[in-house]
Amino acid sequence: MRRLKQMEDVPVQRQGCASPRSMRLDKAMEEQKDLEKWGQPPDWNLRLKTSSIDRDGIFAGEKIPKGSVVIEYVGEVVRHVQSNRRERRYHAKGVESTYMFRFDRDMIIDATNVGNLARFINHSCQPNCDTTAKVINGQKRVLFVAAKDIKEGEELTIDYQLKPEEDESKRVPCNCNTPHCRKYLY
């Protein structure tokens, strides 16, 4: 793991006022702690297998303790306008599944062509993983963190938290089959 270089000549803070240089050092040290805490997660022997929720899913190859970073969602970071163009192009080409993860209002991570196993994580209304967004070393990162102890062989899930479609005929059914299932993804 890379370590941040210590800045030389950091001025002493006086009367509770921080200099811009010392604030940069504080921010750099905070990012270093985040990198150590949220850095590259262990591999957990994750497996891509057939899922009862939706075609393929990710399954734990070993026990994953609550609070552990499970996997990072990676792909190409694109703007909202570009993601809309890509969606239309994928649809025109007959691409059956696209993997777009909205990071914030304008930034989307497109893992359709460039990504890892995280793109296969399925939705559940009672997920075993939480989604957390972090900015580390100036890069936006999306991490899935175990919301509870996950057993070996258990499918990893997150809540997609999509806004429900008002027109019921356009709603996409949810197949998580959990006791508190909302019945629709959107």
pLDDT of residue 121: 95
Task: Provide the number of structural domains found in the chain.
Answer: 2
pLDDT of residue 96: 83
Tell me, yes or no, whether 6 lies in a domain: no
CATH code for the domain in which residue 59 is found:
2.170.270.10
- For the segment 16-32, the average pLDDT, to the nearest whole number, is 48
Tell me, yes or no, whether 8 lies in a domain: no
Judged against a pLDDT cut of 50, whether residue 5 lies above it is answered with no
Give the confidence band of 139 by pLDDT, cuts at 50, 70, 90. Answer: confident
Do 61 and 36 share a domain, yes or no?
yes
Q: Measure CA 148 to chain center.
A: 17
Boundary-marking domain end, from 58, 90, 109: 109
- For the segment 11-23, the average pLDDT, to the nearest whole number, is 42
Do 65 and 45 share a domain, yes or no?
yes
Do 96 and 157 share a domain, yes or no?
no
Segment of 92-101, 132-141, 151-160 carrying the highest mean pLDDT: 151-160
Average pLDDT, the chain: 79
pLDDT of residue 20: 44
Higher pLDDT: 69 or 164? It is 69
Boundary-marking domain end, from 64, 85, 109: 109
Segment of 68-77, 91-100, 105-114, 143-152 carrying the highest mean pLDDT: 143-152
Give the domain extent around 69: 20-74+115-185
pLDDT of residue 173: 85
0.85 exceeded by pTM: no
pLDDT 10s digits, 156-166: 999 987 666 67
pLDDT of residue 8: 35
